[in-house]
Amino acid sequence: MTRSRLGATALVSILALSLAHAPAHAQLGRLWHIGFGGGVSVPAGDLKDALKDGVHGQAFLGFGPFSSPFGGRIAVNYQRFDLKSLEGSATSPSTGSGTVLSGLANMMYGINVGPIHPYLTAGLGAFDLTASPDGGSSSSKVHFGVDGGAGLQVRLGRIEGFVEGRYENLFTDKGLDPNATSAKSFAAQIIPITFGITY
C-alpha cells in the first residue's frame, strides 16, 4: 500500500508540474515553427527563354520572437522546369529538364491583424542550377543569389496557411546551353508563387 500511495503521489506531482509548465511550453512552441509549401515557378529575365514554367516544393524552419514584428527563416527549395530550345543553338535540345536546388536564409517583417498576418521577406543564399537535356550530358553550377517578396498568413486553428510570392535573382553570367560559345551576360530570375502551411 505504501508503494502504491507513493506511486500515486508521484504521478499527481508529475501531472501538476506538467500543467503548470504547459503555458510556457505552448509559448515556446510558437517561437519556433516549421513549414511546407509548393506551387508554381515562373522563369524571368533571360531564363524564360531557356525554361518553361515549372513547379517547386519548399521546407523551412522559422523563428519569430514575441512582441516583435521581426523574425527569420532558413529554407530549402527545389524547383523543376522543362527545357526550351535555346535560340541560336542548332544543337540545343527541345526536351529535357532544368532544376534549381537552393538554400536560403531570410529575414521577415510582419504585423498581426487579428488572425491575418501580412509580411515581407528578404534574404540570400546559394542556388544549384542544373540543366539535363535528353540525350546529352548534364551541366550544373552553384550561384549565389538574393530574393525578396511578400506573403499573407491566416491562422487556421493550431496551424497557419500562407500564400507567398518571391523574386529570386541568381548571379550568373552564362546561360544553360552547354554548347554555347559565348559567355554573354545572362539574367537569371525566378518568381515562385507558394501555397503552404506552418505549425
DSSP states along the chain: -HHHHHHHHHHHHHHHHHHHHHHHHHHHHHHEEEEEEEEEEEEEEGGGGTB--EEEEEEEEEE--TT-SEEEEEEEEEEEEEBPPPTT-TT--SSEEEEEEEEEEEEEEE--BTTEEEEEEEEEEEEEEEEEETTS--EEEEEEEEEEEEEEEEEETTEEEEEEEEEEEE--SS-S-TT--------EEEEEEEEEEE-
pLDDT band at residue 185 using 50, 70 and 90 as cut-offs: low
pLDDT for 134 equals 83
pLDDT in tens, 16-28: 444 444 343 333 3
CATH numbers and ranges of domains, the chain: 31-198 (2.40.160.20)
pLDDT band at residue 114 using 50, 70 and 90 as cut-offs: confident
pLDDT for 187 equals 78
Provide the whole-model pTM: 0.75
pLDDT in tens, 120-157: 999 999 999 998 888 777 888 899 999 999 999 998 88
